[in-house]
Chains A and B, each alone.
Chain A
Amino acid sequence: MPSTLISVWGLINRFLEWFGDLGLFAWQVVRSAARRPLEGRELIRQLDEIGSRSLPLVALAGAAIGAVLALETRSSLVQFGAKSLLPATIVFSIIHETGPVVTGLVVSGRVGAGIGAELGSMKVTEQIDAIEASGVNPYKSLAFTRIVACILALPLLTLAADFCGVMVGWIANTLVEPISFHKFINQGLAGTSFNDFLAPTFRTTVFGLIIGMIGCFQGMRAQGGTAGVGRSSTSSVVLSSLFVILADVILVKLILVFFP
């Protein structure tokens, strides 16, 4: 068999093995969810770590997207004589796509790396074994709490990114051609329903699930000392970003089917 074919086969094998292990890990986390204790205090701590501390970065990213959209779209719309559509273009684009995706990618970078490195470090220094040896379920205390925190935090962070994007979009627009915020929002939201806003925002819960699950999985299977921690951190970011983008494609299609 040619060597290329062998290496492709090996790659497919490793990918399937990784998926199988991820499935088993997810099953352990789901099973642990029903067990006591509730881990409420740890969940709040993780919400602070994942949610509150990501807020400045997410807000900044949302603001940057709003500014870029306002500046880039204006010239195109002016060319086609559709300048009045500018508020709608900015608001619709941010709420529908750029807000959720940028939030997902920014959080997967910041939080995915953090979870991967923290749990990876705990794994290679036997701290996770120590937790388990003391009769505490690490899937509940470490993984479940982080995954739930990611699921809850992502929609809230998306709202913050959307808000900052729209605000900065209006400011950037106003600097070129003054328009009241009230008028900007009214024009921006004209023709949009609540579903246009709800479905894209809540699809970020799936992004949260992906970021939390992959970060915890890669961290808790780390091995090989500090190099292993580095690998788990990097792979958490790369894989969670990749799966966020893939999930986005699938979810956009599903949203179009269920909320036409």
Chain B
Amino acid sequence: MMHPEQEVLLGVEENGPAEVESAGGKSDASAVVLRDLHKSFGSQIVLDGIDLTVGSGETLAVLGRSGTGKSVLLKLIIGLQKPDSGSIRIHEQEITRLNLDAMNDLRKKMGFLFQHAALYDSLTVEQNVAFPLKRHTRMTESDQRERVKELLAGVGMEADLEKMPSELSGGMQKRVGLARALALEPGILLLDEPTAGLDPITSGEIDELILKLQEEHDMASIVVTHDLHSAKTIADRIALLHEGNVLMEGSFKELEKSDDEFVSEFFKRDS
């Protein structure tokens, strides 16, 4: 018989491994499961009991007004912040009780695109993308170089290997950030406002790129965005956050047709 603590560490809790049937029809064992997640900053409650599940190969777009904790949600999933209470399970593993080494091992299986790309400004484009490879693989220099070229070619940036991040436009920085996030072939991709601050054409290009990468890599993706058009294009399922909770979850069409006053107002703004 398994000790209760072992059960928790192995993620075999009372509810058993979660399964999800996604709107996109990509049904699989769940990659990310959030249960009753709470997070406050001082007296400000940001997340107040969030429940969400994302299946392998599924893309979930998280929408909501500014300051509703969408980016905080991503940072909790990758362990950059700790929740006040609740459960976060990544591939069946409860991360809220993991030690730093185990968390770092898990982080290698996740890719994170920051809102402003967060490229290392003292490294070239090539060095930025090679950073995770250098740190976590035993690849030779030439293999790393090949892999970096391949990743940058995948995002259309193969001609800019030697450039510094300051020489790139916002859209180009996002592309390089995406290439860096994909370097270790993660099973889960977290995207924080991938199209924020970009013109509609560049936003469209980034959306197409994300769709292409999803097809190629079959990852579970969570995309935080304000861009309804982008959410409609890339997401299998939408979760709308409001007042610290998931107000509504479903396909874009389901949310668009909702009678809920807040949901319809949110979706009307862009139509």
Chain A: residues with CB nearer than 8 A to chain B? 35, 37, 121-122, 125-127, 129-137
Contacts of A136 in B (CB 8 A): 104, 135
**Which of B75, B116, B132 is close to A134, meaning CB atoms less than 8 Å apart?**
B132
Cα–Cα, bound, A136→B112 (Å):
13
Are B121 and A135 within 8 A (Cβ)? no
Are A134 and B135 within 8 A (Cβ)? yes
Contacts of A122 in B (CB 8 A): 120
Q: Check B114 for interface membership: any CB of A closer than 8 A.
A: yes
Q: How far, in Å, is B221 (CB) from chain A's closest CB?
A: 15
In the complex, 13 of the A-B residue pairs with CB atoms within 8 angstroms, ordered by the A residue number, are A35-B100, A35-B101, A125-B116, A129-B80, A130-B120, A132-B107, A133-B78, A133-B107, A134-B107, A134-B132, A135-B105, A135-B135, A137-B104
Q: Which residue of B has the minimal Cβ distance to A126?
A: B118
Cα–Cα, bound, A202→B218 (Å):
57
Q: How far, in Å, is B130 (CB) from chain A's closest CB?
A: 12
> Which residues 101-122 of B have a CB within 8 angstroms of A?
101, 104-108, 110, 112, 114-116, 118-121
Q: Which residue of B has the minimal Cβ distance to A133?
A: B112
Contacts of B136 in A (CB 8 A): 134-135
Q: Check B266 for interface membership: any CB of A closer than 8 A.
A: no
Task: Across the A-B interface, give the 9 residue pairs with the lowest CB-CB distance, nearest first.
Answer: A135-B107, A126-B118, A130-B118, A135-B104, A133-B112, A135-B108, A134-B132, A126-B114, A133-B78
Q: How far, in Å, is B97 (CB) from chain A's closest CB?
A: 18
Are A132 and B80 within 8 A (Cβ)? yes
Contacts of B180 in A (CB 8 A): 134
Cα–Cα, bound, A37→B101 (Å):
12
Contacts of A132 in B (CB 8 A): 80, 107
Contacts of B112 in A (CB 8 A): 130, 133-134
Q: How far, in Å, is B144 (CB) from chain A's closest CB?
A: 15
Q: Which residue of B has the minimal Cβ distance to A121?
A: B121
Q: How far, in Å, is B91 (CB) from chain A's closest CB?
A: 15
Are B132 and A125 within 8 A (Cβ)? no
Q: How far, in Å, is B78 (CB) from chain A's closest CB?
A: 5
Are B120 and A134 within 8 A (Cβ)? no
Are B135 and A130 within 8 A (Cβ)? no
Q: How far, in Å, is B108 (CB) from chain A's closest CB?
A: 5
Q: Which residue of B has the minimal Cβ distance to A132?
A: B80
Are A126 and B116 within 8 A (Cβ)? yes
| Known pairs A131-B120, A135-B108 / 15 extra A-B pairs, C-beta < 8 Å | A125-B121, A126-B114, A126-B115, A126-B118, A127-B119, A127-B121, A130-B112, A130-B120, A133-B107, A133-B114, A134-B136, A135-B105, A135-B132, A136-B135, A137-B104
Cα–Cα, bound, A44→B206 (Å):
39
Cα–Cα, bound, A135→B115 (Å):
19
Q: How far, in Å, is A20 (CB) from chain B's closest CB?
A: 17
* Residue from the set B118, B120, B132 with the largest chain A CB neighbour count within 10 Å: B118
Q: How far, in Å, is B165 (CB) from chain A's closest CB?
A: 10
Cα–Cα, bound, A126→B165 (Å):
14
Contacts of A130 in B (CB 8 A): 112, 114, 118-120
Q: Which residue of A has the minimal Cβ distance to B192?
A: A126
Cα–Cα, bound, A202→B249 (Å):
64
* Residue from the set A130, A131, A137 with the largest chain B CB neighbour count within 10 Å: A130
Contacts of A135 in B (CB 8 A): 104-108, 132, 135-136
Cα–Cα, bound, A132→B132 (Å):
11
Cα–Cα, bound, A127→B128 (Å):
11
Q: How far, in Å, is B127 (CB) from chain A's closest CB?
A: 13
Are B107 and A127 within 8 A (Cβ)? no
